């Protein structure tokens, strides 16, 4: 849509330049004709009484001839000048149009040569920046489509294998049926989680998700999350330590922030060692609430840390499969925090642990 609007605006600009060039030519011819009439009349009237009729006629013809020559010479110069000036203006615009037309075909690697320091060069630089962003977005889109295809294909393939096993076997025991149906049900649940997570991400990306912010006691909110995750941590004997520096009330969307913080604490449990530790700390200043989640688990390699918030990124793919993770949790968490005008930071060392720090404004701007 942006590209189409750009093309329409540039087309309008070119039509305007063509129209201006034509108008300038008409104006020049009109001025020349009026000047000729006025100039001839003044000279003729000034000499009318001092010259004979024959001399008056010869003088008038001579004036006409010289004026016509002058008009032709100056007219030619003017036309050439107008063509050169309009060409200087239009050539970069024509180049932009060609590049934009290529981009409408999906070729986002196009660039415009920047010359000079005028408005057109600024427009060219802005266009190149837009082109680079579109190229990056297109690459992300292709990667996203590939990841989605893979993530959806995996549970579908598993279900197909399970169903075919039942179809092509005779006298299958009831227990086997139940086992296969339970496995199929698990894969359906996994598909549902992936699709629901994708829908949440799409809404967050489009910023169409409303923030139902209300003053919330963050101490109680975190305590409830920790209580719900206790059974998961108990299975692996992972200790959850909750440190409250003070009572903190913040204006947040309870549902969205609960999901975001649950993702972080749950990851601290999933990617931890048995009998490990997850520390949750809540603090605030006069403007923001700060929630830190720190574990002593497997950590994240330094060269992987910039990918943590990417969709479908997994630190440990095998473990994620076992625990039913989709690789979308941190991406949703980041976008939720940003939607609250907050921030999220990561520090991690491989084989030592990871810490996330979430900053949330105490009050949302209206």
Look up the CATH number of the domain holding residue 255.
3.30.565.10
Indicate the pLDDT class of residue 36, thresholds 50, 70 and 90.
low
pLDDT of 331 reads 84
On whether residue 138 sits in a domain, the answer given is no
Are 218 and 353 part of one and the same domain?
yes
How many other C-beta atoms lie within 10 A of the C-beta of residue 275?
A: 9
Are 19 and 158 part of one and the same domain?
no
> CB-based burial of residue 259 (10 Å sphere; 0-12 exposed, 13-18 middle, 19+ buried)?
middle
Which of 206, 227, 258 lies at the terminal end of a domain, its last residue? 206
User: What is the domain extent for residue 165?
Assistant: 143-206
Indicate the pLDDT class of residue 97, thresholds 50, 70 and 90.
confident
Are 220 and 348 part of one and the same domain?
yes
On whether residue 125 sits in a domain, the answer given is no
Are 37 and 148 part of one and the same domain?
no
CA 51 distance to own-chain centroid: 82
Give the model confidence (pLDDT) of 226-240 as tens digits.
Answer: 998 998 899 889 999
Are 189 and 221 part of one and the same domain?
no
CATH number for 193: 1.10.287.130
Are 17 and 79 part of one and the same domain?
yes
Are 80 and 12 part of one and the same domain?
yes
On whether residue 130 sits in a domain, the answer given is no
Nearest-angstrom CA–CA distance, 314 and 308: 8
Are 58 and 84 part of one and the same domain?
yes
Which of 73-87, 222-236, 322-336 is predicted with the least confidence, judged by mean pLDDT?
A: 73-87
Nearest-angstrom CA–CA distance, 297 and 239: 12
Q: What is the DSSP string of 342-361?
A: -EEEEEEETTTEEEEEEEEE
Which of 53, 83, 107 lies at the terminal end of a domain, its last residue? 107
On whether residue 118 sits in a domain, the answer given is no
What is the pTM for the complete model shown?
0.56
User: Structurally, how many domains does the chain consist of?
Assistant: 3
Which of 151, 184, 206 lies at the terminal end of a domain, its last residue? 206
On whether residue 267 sits in a domain, the answer given is yes
Are 248 and 194 part of one and the same domain?
no
On whether residue 69 sits in a domain, the answer given is yes
Indicate the pLDDT class of residue 251, thresholds 50, 70 and 90.
very high
Instruction: Calculate mean pLDDT across residues 199-220.
Output: 78
Are 190 and 246 part of one and the same domain?
no
On whether residue 131 sits in a domain, the answer given is no
Give the model confidence (pLDDT) of 7-22 as tens digits.
Answer: 455 555 555 555 655 6
On whether residue 128 sits in a domain, the answer given is no
Are 193 and 322 part of one and the same domain?
no
Beta carbons of 346 and 355 less than 8 angstroms apart: yes
Indicate the pLDDT class of residue 4, thresholds 50, 70 and 90.
very low
Are 197 and 218 part of one and the same domain?
no
Buried residues in 334-347 as b, exposed as e (16+ CB within 10 A) = bbbbebbebebeee
């Amino acid at each position: 849509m942006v590209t189409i609007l750009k093309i329409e605006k540039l087309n309008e600009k070119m039509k305007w330049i063509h129209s201006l060039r034509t108008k300038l030519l008409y104006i020049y011819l009109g001025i020349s004709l009026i000047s000729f009439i006025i100039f001839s009349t003044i000279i003729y009237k000034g000499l009318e009484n001092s010259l004979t009729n024959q001399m008056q006629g010869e003088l008038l013809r001579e004036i006409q001839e010289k004026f016509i020559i002058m008009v032709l010479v100056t007219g030619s110069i003017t036309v050439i000048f107008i063509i050169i000036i309009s060409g200087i203006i239009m050539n970069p615009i024509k180049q932009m149009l060609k590049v934009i037309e290529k981009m409408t075909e999906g070729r986002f690697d196009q660039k415009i040569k920047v010359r000079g320091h005028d408005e057109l060069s600024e427009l060219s630089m802005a266009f190149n920046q837009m082109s680079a962003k579109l190229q990056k977005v297109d690459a992300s889109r292709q990667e996203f489509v590939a990841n989605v295809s893979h993530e959806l294909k995996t549970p579908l393939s598993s279900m197909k294998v399970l169903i075919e096993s039942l179809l092509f076997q005779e006298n299958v025991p009831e227990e086997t049926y139940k086992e296969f149906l339970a496995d199929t049900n698990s894969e359906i649940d996994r598909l549902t989680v992936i699709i629901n997570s994708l829908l949440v991400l799409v809404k967050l990306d489009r910023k169409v998700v409303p923030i139902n912010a209300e003053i919330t006691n963050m101490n109680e909110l975190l305590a409830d999350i920790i209580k719900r995750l206790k059974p998961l941590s108990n299975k692996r004997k992972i200790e959850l330590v909750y440190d409250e520096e003070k009572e903190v009330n913040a204006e947040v969307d309870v549902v969205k922030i609960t999901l975001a913080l649950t993702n972080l604490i749950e990851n601290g449990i999933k990617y931890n060692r048995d009998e490990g530790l997850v520390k949750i700390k809540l603090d605030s200043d006069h403007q923001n609430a700060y929630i830190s989640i720190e574990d002593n688990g497997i950590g994240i390699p330094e060269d992987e840390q910039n990918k943590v918030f990417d969709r479908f990124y997994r630190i440990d793919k095998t473990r994620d499969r076992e625990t039913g993770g989709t690789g979308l949790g941190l991406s949703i968490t980041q976008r939720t925090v940003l939607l609250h005008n907050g921030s999220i930071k990561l520090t991690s060392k491989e084989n030592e642990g990871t810490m996330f720090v979430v900053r949330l404004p105490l009050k949302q701007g209206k």
